[in-house]
Amino acid sequence: MPSIDLALEKGLPANLDAERFVLGAILTDDIYFIQVAGSIDPDDFSLEKHRKIYGRMMDLSARGERIDRVTLANELMKLNQLESCDGLSYLVSLDDGLPQLFNLDSYVRIVKDKSVLRRIIFASQKLIDRCFIGEDEPDNILAHAEETLLKLGETRAKDALANPRQIIEEFQGGLNVFLDPSRRIRGISTGLSKFDEMTAGLHEGELIILAARPAMGKTALALNIAQHVATNETDPKTVAIFSLEMSKESLLTRMICGGARVDQQKFRAGYLNAEERRRLQTVAMQLVEAPIYIDDTAGTNLMDIHAKLRRLQAEHGLGLAVIDYLQLMSGRGRFENRNQEVSALSRGLKLMAKELKIPMMVLSQLSRAPETRPGDHRPQLSDLRESGSIEQDADLVGFIFREEVYKPDRDDLKGLAKLIIAKQRNGPIGDVNLVFLKEYTKFENPMRDIDDGGGE
C-alpha cells in the first residue's frame, strides 16, 4: 500500500533539532528545566540518547543540583551512559544553531506533537497485531482502542493551573453567579428530600459510594434514584445502569413494580387485579419513554464501562451512571492482592467521573463488622470492604441501615430506614430518615419531609 511505503521511507515522526534545542536551552541556563519539566517526559524524545540525557537532568533537578555540561556528564558517567550519548562533545554541541532569542515553548510543543504522533502509530500497530492474531473478542479490541486513544488525547490537555480571574471568567454566569449560591447550578435531584437538602443533589465529577450489608436495599435505593433522575418531569437525564449481579429483566421488573406500588410476589405469581394491572401498564409506558440504559454483562471491567459510557454520552448525553456493585468488578492487569485491585478500580471510577463530568454512583459491600459489633450495628467508614482507598477516592459515602434486620421482633422498627452520610467533601454528614416498603422494594421520604417541603 502506498501509504505504508511512504511511512517506511519517511521514518517515525520526529524533529531532532527541536529536541536538541530543548536540551541545549536547559544546558544554557537550568532555570529553563522548570519550564520544560511539566510538559515533557523522557519518552517524548525520539532518540535514546536524548531520553537518557533528559532523564539524568531530571535526576539532578530532583536532588536540587545545578544542571550544566559538567554535572550532566558526571551523572551520565556514573550510570555508564556517557559513551552511548556520544560523549561530552555531543553535550557541548546541543546548543549549536540555537537562536540567541530562542522560543522554548514552540520547541517543547513540537517535541510533544511528534511524540503523540509516534504513540498513535505504536498504538495502531498493536491494535492491528491483535486483530490479526484474533485471540480477543472484537468488542474487547474496540474497547481497548477507544481507551488507548482517550489516554493519548489526555496528553494533549492544556495546563490545568488557573488563577482566580480565569476561574471566575470561565464560570458559567460570571462573578455575579459565582458569589450568589441561589443562582448557582444545583446538582441532580435524587427524589430524597432530606438527602437533596444536605448534598444539594448529585454533582458532576463526584464518586458516590452507596454501601450496605446484603439485603439492606442497596440495589433498591440506587434504582429508585436512577428512576427519579430519568423520569423527572422538569429535567429528565440519561441514566446508565451496570448490573453485575442481576439481569436487566429483573431490574426492570423491580422498577415497574416499585413505581406502580405492586407487590413483586403477586406480580410473579400473576395474582393481580385490574387496578394493579393498570398501574403497571402506566409505569411501564413511562419507563419505555425514559432515557434509561441497562447493561447486565457479568464480570465487566473498567475499560468496558468507560467505552460504553463515552459512546452513550456521545449519542444520547449522560446524567448519571450507576454500578452494582464494586466488588463484582474485575481489574485489568496483575495485582498482588484484592485490596490493590479494588483500590485501582475505585481510583479509576473517580477519574472516569471527572473526565465524563457526571456523578458516578457505585454500590459497595460492607464487611461483617456491623453484624459482629455488640450493641450498635450502625455501619462505619472502617467497614468498607477490601480497601481503605474507597473512602479516600469517594466524594460522598452513604450507608443504608435498617435496624429491623437485626431486631425483627420490634414492630416499631418495621419500615424504618436511614441513609447515613458518613463522608461528604462539600457538605455536612448526618442521617437521612427514609421509609422502606419491603413488598415493593422501594424507599420513600417520610411523610413529615413531604409535608415540610423537604425539611424537617
How high is the pLDDT of residue 77?
92
How high is the pLDDT of residue 321?
93
How high is the pLDDT of residue 182?
56
Ranges of residues in the chain with a pLDDT under 50 are: 1-9, 158, 454-456
Q: Does 2-150 match 181-451 in CATH topology? A: no
Among residues 326, 295, 329, the alpha carbon closest in space to that of 312 is found at 295
Q: How far apart are CA 415 and CA 333, in angstroms?
A: 44
Among residues 45, 49, 61, 40, the alpha carbon closest in space to that of 12 is found at 45
How high is the pLDDT of residue 456?
39
Q: How far apart are CA 306 and CA 343, in angstroms?
A: 17
Burial state string for 291-305 with b = 16 or more CB within 10 A and e = fewer than 16: bbbbbbeeebbbbbb
- 397 touches 411 (CB < 8 A): no
Compute CA distances 447 → 31, 195, 259, 287, whole Å: 66, 15, 18, 26
Among residues 239, 333, 231, 243, the alpha carbon closest in space to that of 284 is found at 231
Q: How far apart are CA 43 and CA 320, in angstroms?
A: 37
Rounded to an integer, what is the distance from CA 143 to the centroid of its chain?
16
Strand order in the sheet with 360-365: 292-295, 239-243, 320-324, 360-365, 207-212, 396-401, 416-424, 430-437, 442-444
Q: How far apart are CA 209 and CA 222, in angstroms?
A: 11
Q: How far apart are CA 307 and CA 429, in angstroms?
A: 34
How high is the pLDDT of residue 80?
92
Burial state string for 24-51 with b = 16 or more CB within 10 A and e = fewer than 16: bbbbeebebbeebeeebeeebbbeebbb
Among residues 393, 381, 395, the alpha carbon closest in space to that of 426 is found at 395
Each domain of the chain, given as residue ranges in start order, spans 2-150, 181-451
Q: Looking at the DSSP assignment, which residues form a beta bridge with residue 150? A: none
Question: At 59, which amino acid appears?
Answer: D
Among residues 158, 27, 176, the alpha carbon closest in space to that of 96 is found at 27
Burial state string for 336-366 with b = 16 or more CB within 10 A and e = fewer than 16: eeeebbbbbbbbbbbbbbeebebbbbbbbbb
Write the pLDDT tens digit of every residue in 352-401: 888 888 999 999 888 787 777 777 778 888 777 655 677 778 899 999 88
Count of CA atoms in the C-beta half-sphere (13 A) of 35: 15
CATH no. of 181-451 = 3.40.50.300
2-150 folds as DNAb Helicase; Chain A (1.10.860)
Torsion angles phi and psi, residue 333, rounded to 5: 100, -175
Question: At 258, which amino acid appears?
Answer: G
How high is the pLDDT of residue 409?
81
Q: H or E segment at 109?
A: helix 104-133
Strand 396-401 vs strand 416-424: parallel, antiparallel, or unpaired?
antiparallel
How high is the pLDDT of residue 7?
45
